Amino acid sequence: MEVLTKKELELRFDEIAERIERGAVFIHPTDTIYGLSCCALDPKAVAKVHKMKERGDKPFSIWVPSIKWIKENCVVDALTEKELDKLPGAYTFILKLKKKRIVANEVTFGKTTIGVRYPDHWFSKVVEKLGFPIVTTSANKTGEKFMTSLENLDKDIEKNVEFIIYEGPKEGKPSKIINLVEGTVKERD
């Protein structure tokens, strides 16, 4: 596994972007903890992330390239529009999709809703530059402790990722989930 700094990512952006488009599974920093990701349009890459996390058929959230992307691809009513004012931020919004096939089926497993993130973090500019959403899930096996540094990266996860963009230890916790379809809020530990 290759460890990259923010600066190395900037210098090698075209190469790294191409690797992500071709199906690379990677780890990156977020505004909260470290995330495990791949292109949300690539069914094989998404299936690999499911297998790594031992997640079964539970849907993933995505990190979107912009708020505009949300408005173009998700149902945005008056309440949702108001909630979108919180972005960028440490939130995952559960929204109805306008079209089912906007991401690989392995992201949603045919559900008509999706979790979207647009964090207040420099990596949002990377996703914006990619121009497509990426899967965003914590870099750990389901039910295990979240990755906050290289020292607590699960060895099985590590051996199955191509690279990590590392910015040092993190002290955050996962994002707050706001389900705008059901009207619920969930804090994760």
pLDDT tens by residue, 122-175: 999 999 999 999 999 999 998 898 898 999 999 999 999 999 999 999 987 778
Q: How many C-beta atoms surround the C-beta of residue 99 within 10 A? A: 10
Instruction: Tell me the pLDDT tens digit for each residue of 4-49.
Output: 999 999 999 999 999 999 999 999 999 989 999 999 999 999 999 9
Cα distances from 72 to residues 66, 67, 69, 94, in angstroms, run 10, 9, 5, 15
Largest Cα–Cα distance of the chain, in whole Å?
Answer: 45
For residue 185, pLDDT over 80 is answered with no
- For 147, the token pair is 């990755």
Give every CB contact of residue 109 below 8 A, 6+ residues apart in sequence: 57, 58, 59
Contact present, 62 and 117 (Cβ < 8 Å): yes
Enumerate domains of the chain plus CATH numbers: 2-186 (3.90.870.10)
Cα distances from 154 to residues 5, 52, 53, 163, 185, in angstroms, run 20, 10, 10, 14, 29
- For 92, the token pair is 């995952």
Average pLDDT value for residue range 101-130:
94
Give the global pTM: 0.92
Q: What is residue 186's predicted lDDT score, i.e. its pLDDT? A: 63
